[in-house]
Amino acid sequence: MYRFDNHIAAYDESRRYNRKGEIAAFPPYVTFELGNSCNFSCIMCRKTYIKEKKEELDFSVFKKCVDEISNYGSLVRFIGYCEPLLYSKIKDAIRYVKKKGLRLHITTNGSLLNREMINAILENEVDSVIFSFQGFTQEEDCFMRNISCKTYSNVVNKIKLLHKSRKSEKPYITISTTITSRDNPEYETEFIKRHMCYADQVQVTGATHFAFIEDESGIRDIEKKLGLNKPRKLKNVKCFLTNYEMKIAENGNVYMCCGSFTDELNIGNIEKNTLFNMWHSEKAMKIRETLAFGDLDKFKNCRACQIRYDYDKIGNTIMNTMKGKNKKKKMELYAEER
């Protein structure tokens, strides 16, 4: 059905469905949240404030999902509220996706990257890897993610090693960060220049979001405690992400939208139904209709979503990403510098 020429084509395809009534026959990209654990404790992440029993996706269930996805040729993504490289079968998972002829993207904090992992990425020709950072400086990254300067330096060195070890243009390496009002805008160009030496793209996707923390954990005024400006809540927001996004969680539950974490957006379980049937189910259609009419308050997952907030001088993170705004801006800057 799809069989994209590259990973970017999957996102280009998804933009066709970013309007009311335009629903993909099958998601152009499918996100796997392979586990529910992370080795970082980021201040801005909801995972830091909740306690869960460690769980990961059964590999046989994973293969069942990939087998069905291969019928449609969608991009597969390993991202979510977890660190995908913690998955005990991560190398097997990479091999299986690529064996099926699918495009594969991984988003990681990079701390678990080692020579063995690099070899798995290169030998299987993983299409894209995003390394997530926070802020423009090492100091801000370490503070917001509760890591040491040594860990930060190790991550940078591992990314450099991956870049140096490439024999082709794969994987496409992206350094990505979000920022807050704590970050000095004057450091943006320096951040891009510094990381572009070992990346194909450096992007500042938008603002670091804290609303999920207050909404779910009950911790109040976290932005005030960090000396941050609160964002402006937008009115009359309509969302069409559920027209083209699907996430498979570590327990086999299937959700609409890759940022889902509540049962309200759960449309079934892969062990009881097919991805295709769940995608076209009555519940899925009702969710799409509700969000297309702007009734985001109906779902806990959506009432605190980034799409509803606008940050001074930064804008709306999701809108920035969907419009490809940051990619164009950063790559033009890099071209000028070169």
- Bridge partners, 302 (sequence order): none
In this prediction, the residues of the chain whose per-residue pLDDT falls under 70 are 215-218, 313-338
As a whole number of angstroms, the distance between CA 247 and CA 249 comes to 6
Res 1: pLDDT? 86
As a whole number of angstroms, the distance between CA 70 and CA 97 comes to 9
As a whole number of angstroms, the distance between CA 194 and CA 291 comes to 40
Res 15: pLDDT? 94
Secondary-structure breakdown of the chain: helix, strand, coil percentages, each rounded to the nearest 5: 45, 15, 40
As a whole number of angstroms, the distance between CA 222 and CA 237 comes to 25
Res 307: pLDDT? 87
Residues 306/311/314/317 CA torsion (nearest 10 deg)? 10
DSSP 4-64: -SSHHHHHHHHGGG-STT---SS-SEEEE--BS--S---TT-GGGG------B--HHHHHH
CB 173 within 8 A of CB 129: yes
Res 338: pLDDT? 31
As a whole number of angstroms, the distance between CA 147 and CA 155 comes to 11
Count of residues making up the chain: 338
β-pair type (266-269, 253-256): antiparallel
pLDDT digits (tens, 9 = 90+) for 61-107: 999 999 999 999 999 999 999 999 999 999 999 999 999 999 999 99
Looking up tokens 């001074």 gives 312
- 122 to each of 33, 100, 175, 179, how far by Cα in Å? 22, 17, 18, 31
As a whole number of angstroms, the distance between CA 179 and CA 186 comes to 13
